[in-house]
Amino acid sequence: MKAAVLKSFGSPLVIEDVPDPTIGTGEVIVDVVATRVLSYMNEVLDGTRNYALDLPIVPGPGGIGRVRAIGPDATRLAVGDWVFCDPTVRSRDDCVAPDIALQGLTAAGPGGMLLQKHFRHGSFADQMRLPTENVKRLGAITSEEATRWCALGTLLVPYGGFLAADLRPGETVLVSGATGNFGSAAVSVALAMGAACVVAPGRNEKILDDLVRRFGDRVKPVRLTGNEDDDRESMRRAAPGPIDCVFDIMPPSVSPTVVRAAVMTVRAYGRVVLMGGVGMAGGAGLELPYPWIMRNCISIHGVWMYPPDAASRLIAMVRAGQLRLEEYQATAFDLDHANEAVEHAAANGGPFKMTVIRP
């Protein structure tokens, strides 16, 4: 089969023929039809993000495809089914604290690297092998619709955060990083889950206006100034009442003071979800006052990805019309132009934009 292979950090992807994946018990082979390219994939491939990858490797986290082959433990999947390939691979020998690897992207710790040695190759290829439980049925779609369904990979990240925070209908949410690719997805997911109001802070007024245009007056935009105390007060005033949940998805380049301003808007007994990258590239970490956390009974949830059943639940929300994949504008490349796709994604990573490879 044809694949885009990363052989060394900082080098272009090599488009070449590699052996077809072979199936084992507990595994599924999928023909990849469409896979999204992360806006920061260039930083993964050149080593800037220092992601754990055992090279050479076929990158690409998740995608949309059709089942080619199933193992003997699959009882619902059938050859030809349209499926979402969930890249969050978990070890099966510890249900309490499983090791995790993001197939085709990175791994956490020594256990995650062991997983990556087997489920190592991602979706920038004609085919990929996944654990059976990571293959989620979509129902009937067309090949053209597969491109749009790639948005699941973006939407699932904030969905996992809100599930961890037990977001409930009628609550008020603040999304720190609302003008970014994952942050704008968080706005749409929070509203789909029944949030009464989403406070959306940011510096880009054009994007803030676009969020209001898309979702109406349940979105309350706040233009940030860079002054921590003033911004915190502006965010609180924008909310119609106490802020129940703060969701942070800021990238590594952002100052922790920006994140702290947002986090400390949450009400007493409120919840904070940290899914961003502050501190991952070095520099100061996020400092929060111990007395404020303790006396206000603040719950802080560090969340990486989402629970195993999240993808199926999110697919059901899309099918029910609660989430609109039509919000996303996609630009597609074939596999031979994977390097161009990575460059395009880096230059066009705004809200509701996708770069997709269609092998």
| pLDDT string in tens for the chain (359-residue length) | 999 999 999 999 999 999 999 999 999 999 999 999 999 999 999 999 989 999 999 999 999 999 999 999 899 999 999 999 999 999 999 989 999 999 999 999 999 999 999 998 999 999 999 999 999 999 999 999 999 999 999 999 999 999 999 999 999 999 999 999 999 999 999 999 999 999 999 999 999 999 999 999 999 999 999 999 999 999 999 999 999 999 999 998 899 999 999 999 999 999 999 999 888 777 788 999 999 999 999 999 999 999 999 999 999 999 999 999 999 999 999 999 999 999 999 999 899 999 999 99
* Domains within the chain, CATH numbers bracketed: 2-151+328-358 (3.90.180.10), 156-302 (3.40.50.720)
Classify strands 27-37 and 63-70 as parallel, antiparallel or unpaired.
Answer: antiparallel
CA pair distance 116, 353, nearest whole angstrom:
29
Q: Look up residue 288 and give its two tokens.
A: 């929060």
> How many other C-beta atoms can be found within 10 angstroms of the C-beta atom of residue 154?
23
What pLDDT shows up at residue 192? 98
From residue 88, how far is each of 134, 199, 200, 209, 308 by CA, in Å?
7, 29, 28, 34, 8
What pLDDT shows up at residue 336? 98
Q: Look up residue 134 and give its two tokens.
A: 């990571």
What pLDDT shows up at residue 279? 82
CA pair distance 278, 281, nearest whole angstrom:
7
What pLDDT shows up at residue 233? 97
- 307 cis-preceded (ω within 30 degrees of 0): no
CA pair distance 270, 299, nearest whole angstrom:
6
